[in-house]
Amino acid sequence: AQSVTQLDSHVSVSEGTPVLLRCNYSSSYSPSLFWYVQHPNKGLQLLLKYTSAATLVKGINGFEAEFKKSETSFHLTKPSAHMSDAAEYFCVVSDPRNTGGFKTIFGAGTRLFVKA
Amino acid sequence: GAVVSQHPSRVICKSGTSVKIECRSLDFQATTMFWYRQFPKQSLMLMATSNEGSKATYEQGVEKDKFLINHASLTLSTLTVTSAHPEDSSFYICSAPQGKGTDTQYFGPGTRLTVL
């Protein structure tokens, strides 16, 4: 069965320091993997997506994630946190269905706090 | 870029009444849309897949008669919570694929439902 595990419910960093949000997945197929960000009272925004083209995926706002098949991980990183990065982050897996289409499964989310 | 809108953004209703939530794709067509439910400080849970011109596909454990979905056109899907009860209070989010054959989604801003 497909699943997504975000290893930290919340992460706190100081502004200007690196960010690491951890995600592990399990899937019977070769899934698409995503990171979405949710700011308060706003819709989810796509940060980046992994298909199979490259294991290191660069996204918006300086974020990137590395797909490691051997570790079934897709951790999100950013070299230097900004106050505006404070939000909820979701790791997402999308698996194809037998009947066509796909099913999206969300991780539990990681709340990122950025201290001045 | 493409936008998905939801209306209303917030709704408060009395127990036993029905509430309709609209999800629109503003500048693109969506033969498929998805409905999610998000409890406070929790992740998104896929409720159902809305299919234009055919019946919606519900995830296991989601009551079809409770959550009526109608995909009336290529730009509109509606979710009706029938005979709402306080336990139906939640944040409902819709999404639509960014294009045919892609599993990357645009998400709506969500609708906060409070049942008194």
Token pair of B47, please?
């409720």
Residue A11's identity, in one-letter code, is: V
Q: Is B70 on the interface with A (CB under 8 A)?
A: no
Using CA atoms, how far residue B12 sits from B19, B32, B34, B36, B116, in Å, is 9, 28, 23, 19, 7
Instruction: Give tens-digit pLDDT for A5-46.
Output: 999 999 999 999 999 999 999 876 778 899 999 988 778 899
Which residue from A43, A36, A39, A20 is spatially nearest to A106, judged by alpha carbons? A36
The pLDDT confidence band at residue B101, using thresholds 50, 70 and 90, is: confident
pLDDT at A115: 96
Which of chain A's residues have a Cβ under 8 Å away from the Cβ of B36? 106
CB–CB of B42 and A101 under 8 A? Answer: no
Residue A97's identity, in one-letter code, is: R
Token pair of A73, please?
């991980």
CB–CB of B4 and A43 under 8 A? Answer: yes
Q: What is the largest CA-CA distance in chain B?
A: 41
- Chain-centroid distance of CA B102 in Å reads 19
Instruction: Give tens-digit pLDDT for B23-37.
Output: 999 988 898 999 999
**Top-confidence residue, B103 or A41:** B103
Instruction: Give tens-digit pLDDT for B38-51.
Output: 987 788 999 999 98
C-beta separation of A112 from A85 below 8 A: yes
CB–CB of B107 and A49 under 8 A? Answer: no
pLDDT at B2: 58
Q: In chain B, pLDDT over 90 holds for what percent of residues?
A: 72
The pLDDT confidence band at residue B56, using thresholds 50, 70 and 90, is: very high
pLDDT at A52: 78
> Does residue A82 carry a pLDDT above 90?
yes
C-beta separation of A2 from A59 below 8 A: no
- Chain-centroid distance of CA B67 in Å reads 9
- Cα B110 from Cα B57, distance rounded (Å): 20
- Strand B90-97 with B111-115, pairing: antiparallel
Mean pLDDT of chain A: 90
C-beta separation of A19 from A13 below 8 A: yes
